[in-house]
Each structure stands twice: as structure tokens, then as C-alpha cells.
Structure 1
Amino acid sequence: MRPGKGRGTGWIVAGAAVATVVLVAAGAFVVSRLALPDATPTPSPTQAATSAAPTPTPTPSPTPEARTIRLAATSVELEERSSDPIKLASYTTESGKKLYVRQPGTDRFGRDSRYFEYVLNHDGSRALGTDVDYSTGRKALLSVIDHRTGDRRAIEVSDAPIFPTTPRWSPDGKLALVTLYRATDSESVEYGYGIVDVDSGTARTYEIKQKGAGEWRFFWNSGGDEVGTWVNGRMTFYDLNGGKLRTLPKAGEPVWVEGDDVSPGGDRFLAHCAPASATICAHPTSGDGEADRVPFTSERLIGWWDDEHLAVWRAKGAGFEAVVIDLSGKVQRVLATAPKRAEFDKMAFRFSRGTP
């Protein structure tokens, strides 16, 4: 879901991306990201992949159970264990201008200029990447990438100036969900969502005209047959053909979640408990029953760690730290430290349940 409260100064999320992964929503970078290509054709996806393809990664040595990983080009340190249910797969710096992807089977992250966002599937074999370049036919692209080799296949998703953000694998790994935005001269505005058939290489896009739909990015339900998002502060679900299904009357308030909004078991999603409150609530996806109130204050969540724990960011000194908490709000361990607030505010992180 989107970070920040002002669309003019925040990021588009996604997927930090966006977030999952994320894109800048205003300023010079948006103009360079979203403007239509020049008359000179941009390199085709195949050419771009050839010129920027990573070198084969050697077989990694066994990694220790617990280790500290310093993220390249940042002051952020990750405290990782081999048994962690989610691991960092990619991150961006400078408000989405630079993407760093974890090298297969290692603790190293390398710069990848081909994509804005990069998210692994559940077994870590493939990734979805939102392409920096449009196709020569002025189509916005989503690439399906072999995470081990870097080979990719670009899928045309939408006609410029509509573009996809925050790709999300469906629970069965057969489909991809993207939140769509429309570029204007000075900013980007919500458009709707797209469903991509990964194997057939086809995409369907749906414009959602309800005000605010997509301001907080779309996500899958646990069954992969519905997608949800916040619309005017209410949780709303749609089918895979653009049709509105239901709106939950009691769903709290939007919260920025970088990863999984829905619990691994599929029965709860995350929200702020009330307006102007940073306390976390886990609401039933069915809309029935009461929310579980987590007595912990956070404006930015990584998401579900497992069914009984969350990974969240909190202020720490001059910066932030990520911690794993149980649903009683008790801190279990520190997951990451980000000592520089200004740097952290321009970063987004994509964790994966797959093996990076």
C-alpha cells in the first residue's frame, strides 16, 4: 500500500513495491519514468536483456544460521537467519530511482537498471519485474524472469501512458496482479488493475472509476480469485474481470504494508485500527467478527511474518529499525536497522517467502 499521505510527495506503491516495490509519484523522476518514449526507438526487451544480463552466479557456499548483511549503497543492516520465513529479495533507493536485487543463493545485492521493481515467486525460481523501457510499440511491460539465469520474457500490459506497478504473484503462481497508474505531465493518477497470465504471456487491464481505487495498491486474497484495495478508506474487493464484489463495513483505516497484506492462512488482513491511529489491527477477510488488536504503533509494515507474527518498522534513535512482533505486540527480535531517516524514507523493501 502507498507510503505517505500526500500523493504529490509520496511514492506509488506499491511494491516498494512499491513499493511492492515503488515509484516516485511527483517531480522530475516521474516525468522521466512516465513520459512516452522519444521518436528514437528504445532497445527491445531482448536487446536490453542482452546488454544488461548478469553473469552466471557461482554455486554459493553454505551461509551461517545468523548473519548481518549490509545492504549495498546504504547504511541499512539486515539481521537474517536461515530459518526466517521471509527474506529480503530486492530494495530500492533514492525514491525508486535505483533497484538492487539479491544475487541468487547469496547475501549480495547488485544494481539492476532494467526494472523498477522485482519480486520473487514462492519457490524463488522466477521473478516479476516492471520494465524501465516501453516496447517499441509504446506498451508498458512486465517481465517474467528466471531468477537463476536472468533470462526473461517481456509481456505487454498496457498502452502508454498507463503503466503497471507493484507486481504480485497469485497464490498458485500462475497469474500476476499489477496496480495501474496513468501518467500525466506532472504526476501519476490511479487507473485500476491488471491481471497477467504468466505462462500465456497475456494481460487484461481494468479501469476502476471509483475515486481512490489504487491509491493504495491492489493485493490478492488467499484464494487468488479476488483482489482487494482501499477505496475512500473502505476495504473493497473485485473479481478478476474488473467487477466489484463487496465492501467491508468495518475494516479500519489504510496502513502502508510493503509485503503481504493477507495472513499466510488467508483469514486476516492488516489495517490501522481507527482514523488518526497508528495502532495495528488484523481484520477478518470475511468481514465477519471482530478484529485482533495488536498493541503496537507503526506507520509502515513489512507485513505478515507468519500467521502469528508481524514484521514492522518503528522509530529508533535518528532512524528506524524493523522488528518481529507477536500479536500481543511483544518484540521477538530485531530484523533490520536503518540509522539514517532521510535515507530510509527514500527506500522500499520487497521480502519474499521464496528462497532468494
Structure 2
Amino acid sequence: MSVTPGIYRLLGCAVIAVSVAALTPPTAHAAESADLTLPDTRVTVREDPADPLKVTSYTVGNVAYLRRDAGFAKQTGYQEITVGPKGGMAVAVPTSYSGGRDSVLLADLVANSSTKIQTVDKPLVAKFAHWTRNGGKAVLTVQRKNGTAWETTGFVVVDATAKTARRVNVTGVDRTARFRWSPDGADVVAAYQGGTRFYGQDGAVRRTLLRTGVPAGGEDVFSPSGKALMTWCPVTYTEHVCLWSRTSGKLAAKVNVQPKALLGWWDDKHFLAVVPSAGSYRVVVVDLKGKAVRVLAAISAEDWDKKLYLSYTRR
């Protein structure tokens, strides 16, 4: 999940296999439609079965909703749900601690089973889950509250096969950092002093790209081919969205668009952006020239002000 710099929760290595109820199924199942109205909102999502992405969960403030088949259901007690590639697994982040510890619910959406996995101890939290492209692991950002602000201290890696969580403290991490995966799933990446830093899964610095601007929002900041990294341009640029070569670190393109949020890549030549539209908002597919070529969702100003976030999963 991400808006213009975003939020989420984490802990150690303990795994608790407990008897937990499956995530709530929708109360009704409708045939797949081109237009879907999201429950408890006035948001309309426009889809086509051939699309490379679809909305699999969303949040309104601290309330999460999960898609099962063609319906969505409110997931009481969870503030965030992120569905993995192909839709087989999901990570759900609770709204509160249990026994002084934070945790995640690792859900197998095919088998309709789940496992509670402890992540971090209070006062730390672990949130903002992001999956590897093969769906084998999820990374969450660990934060600690400092006054009224949350500051990043490291990350947690959840192994979906072993059903374990491993906390990694990162020395010198940017306090605004939010961790995501590199395209091959070997490293994690996060903002670092106005640029982008790559870390090994042990927290060691692997590489730093200076002055790129901070990595953009969405579930994956790298293009489907893995060649391009999307960031919010440095403040010295007129444009707001920048694309960089992952291998050389050189600027590949500056896109003349002014989004309220970025929601990831559509394909190598398009990305998703939330843009203002006549007193409301739209999620649009934008090409690398800054032209909106398709509308994917219509969002009321009221829903947007409630901190609505749409999570798109690659099929």
C-alpha cells in the first residue's frame, strides 16, 4: 500500500500455529463484472478479465477489506491485507497487539487456512507488507514511535513456506524508509537520504543510488521486466515521477504528471496513478509521456479523505 510516502507493522523468529478463523468470506458472490462498487464506499472499480492487475484488497483508514472471488468482505480486526502474486496467499496485519506482541496472519486463500506468526515486541510495530514476485516471502517495515511520529528501525521477513518471521535491525536506516523487494527477491530496497538503497536480507548495505528521490508507492516499485525503478522525483525537478535504470542508476525518464499517489506498474510502458478529477479522484493508467490512457477506478473525495488505499495484485 502506498500513497505519497506511506505506512504499516513487525518482530522476531517465533511462530505460533494457532487455530484462527479463516478471513471472512463475502456475503454475496457476483459474476465478474466490468464495474464493481466497493462495500462501504462510493468507489467504483472498472476491470477487464484480461487486465494484468486487479484490486485484491483495500483499506479505508484502519479497516481492511479482502476480495474472494468477485466479492469483497470487511476483515474485522485487521488494518492491512496484502495478497501475493497470483492471489494464492495473503498477509494480514492486525489492528492491535496480542500479549504485548505484534503479528501477522499468513493466509492460504486456496486451502482456506491460516497461521498466526509473531513479528515484533511492543512498542515496535511491523507493517506495510510487500511480497516477492514468486510469492515465497513478504517483507514488512519495522517502526517505533518517537513523539507523534513513527520512525523506521529495520524490517521483518516472513517466509510463507516455513511460516516463520525474522526481524532485522538496520543500522543507519532512513527514518522514513519503507522496505520492498528487488525484482529477483534477493535484496530489499528503501528510501535513503533522498535516494534509494539496496540491502541484503541480513540488513547489510549492498548498493546506494544517490539523488533518485524516494521510491514510489504501490506493491512493486520496479517495472515488470525489472529494468526500471520508479520514484518521486527529487524536489529540484519540475516533474513529479522519475524512472531510473536499475542496473546503471541513470535517469531513464521524467514523466510530466502530478499524481496524489502512485500504485505501481501496469506494464513496462505504463503505471498507475491517482489523479484529481472535478472534485473527486481517479485511478488511471498513465503512459511514459504522462498521458492517461484508461480509467481504472473512480473515487469520491469523501472516500479519499478517509485514507482509502487500493491494493493491486498481478495475476
Q: Normalised by the shorter chain, which TM-score bucket? A: 0.7 to 0.9
Q: Is residue 162 of structure 1 aligned with residue 124 of structure 2?
A: yes
Q: Tell me the residue number matched to 2:108.
A: 146
Does the 8 Å contact 1:143/1:153 carry over to 2?
yes
* Match 1:87 to one of 35, 54, 60: 54
The alpha-carbon distance between structure 1 residues 332 and 195, as it changes in their structure 2 partners (threshold 3 A), is: same
Q: Tell me the residue number matched to 1:333.
A: 294
Residues 143-187 of structure 1: CA deviation (Å, up to 9, x unaligned): 210224642101111222212111111122222111111245744
Q: Is residue 105 of structure 1 aligned with residue 105 of structure 2?
A: no
* Percent of matched pairs sharing the same residue: 25
Q: Tell me the residue number matched to 2:24.
A: 54
Residues 84-142 of structure 1: CA deviation (Å, up to 9, x unaligned): 1111111111x3x211111x211x22110132211111121111111234343x32112
CA drift at 1:62 = 4.6
- Choose 159-168 or 267-276, whichever is displaced more: 267-276
Q: Is residue 173 of structure 1 aligned with residue 140 of structure 2?
A: no
* Match 1:121 to one of 79, 84, 90: 84
Q: Tell me the residue number matched to 2:282.
A: 321
The alpha-carbon distance between structure 1 residues 185 and 329, as it changes in their structure 2 partners (threshold 3 A), is: closer
CA distance in 2 between counterparts of 1:4 and 1:329 reads 18
Q: Is residue 63 of structure 1 aligned with residue 24 of structure 2?
A: no
CA drift at 1:278 = 4.8
Q: Tell me the residue number matched to 1:260.
A: 220
Q: Is residue 198 of structure 1 aligned with residue 198 of structure 2?
A: no
The alpha-carbon distance between structure 1 residues 149 and 201, as it changes in their structure 2 partners (threshold 3 A), is: closer
Q: Tell me the residue number matched to 2:44.
A: 77
Aligned amino acid, residue 24 of structure 2: P
* Match 1:243 to one of 201, 204, 226: 204
* Match 1:131 to one of 81, 87, 94: 94
Does the 8 Å contact 1:157/1:164 carry over to 2?
yes
Aligned amino acid, residue 259 of structure 1: E
CA distance in 1 between counterparts of 2:44 and 2:226 reads 31
Aligned amino acid, residue 89 of structure 1: T
CA drift at 1:308 = 1.4
Does the 8 Å contact 1:250/1:287 carry over to 2?
no
Q: TM-score, normalising length from structure 1? A: 0.78
RMSD: 2.7
Aligned amino acid, residue 32 of structure 2: T
Aligned amino acid, residue 217 of structure 2: V
Q: Say how many residue pairs are matched.
A: 309
Does the 8 Å contact 1:278/1:298 carry over to 2?
no
The alpha-carbon distance between structure 1 residues 88 and 344, as it changes in their structure 2 partners (threshold 3 A), is: farther
Gaps of 5+ in 1: 6-12, 15-21, 24-33, 35-43
